Amino acid sequence: MPKEATETKTKTTRKAANTSAKEGKEKRKPSAYNLFIKEHLSKWRADHPGTEVKEAMAAVAKMWKEAPENPNRGKEAGAKKVPKEKAEKENKKKPAKKAAEEPAAAEGSEASEGGEEE
């Protein structure tokens, strides 16, 4: 006899269960950047017909850099910060690799010297 599908295992019931859980959540408010892009991108594309979306986004992003709505206007983009733990791990790994390479190099030079003596 074929197995009977239960309500929780069917695709439609799983989908219904997932959407009902998401309905209670509120959407996040759009950021200042999102609002700026929404407003200015359509205007820019209307003024420059035939351009690719990539070019339009680049142009509007440049406008955003100096826009009064931008909370980071006038600030320079800083270097990305590396988490402290990750930086410490990388520093520990590098010397260990060098130390492991030196004995291997020394062994190789001894083997070549041994071959010359014979």
By C-alpha distance, which of 106, 25, 32, 104 is closest to 69?
32
User: With bands split at pLDDT 50, 70 and 90, how would you rate the model's confidence at 82?
Assistant: low
Across the chain, mean pLDDT equals 74
Q: Are residues 110 and 89 in the same domain?
A: yes
In a domain, 94, yes or no: yes
pLDDT digits (tens, 9 = 90+) for 86-116: 767 666 666 555 555 555 555 555 555 555 5
User: Which pTM was predicted?
Assistant: 0.45
Q: Are residues 66 and 93 in the same domain?
A: no
In a domain, 47, yes or no: yes
- Structural domain for 112, as ranges: 84-118
In a domain, 53, yes or no: yes
Using CA atoms, how far apart are residues 46 and 100, in angstroms rounded to an integer?
62
Q: Are residues 37 and 62 in the same domain?
A: yes
Q: Are residues 67 and 39 in the same domain?
A: yes
DSSP letter for 8, please. G
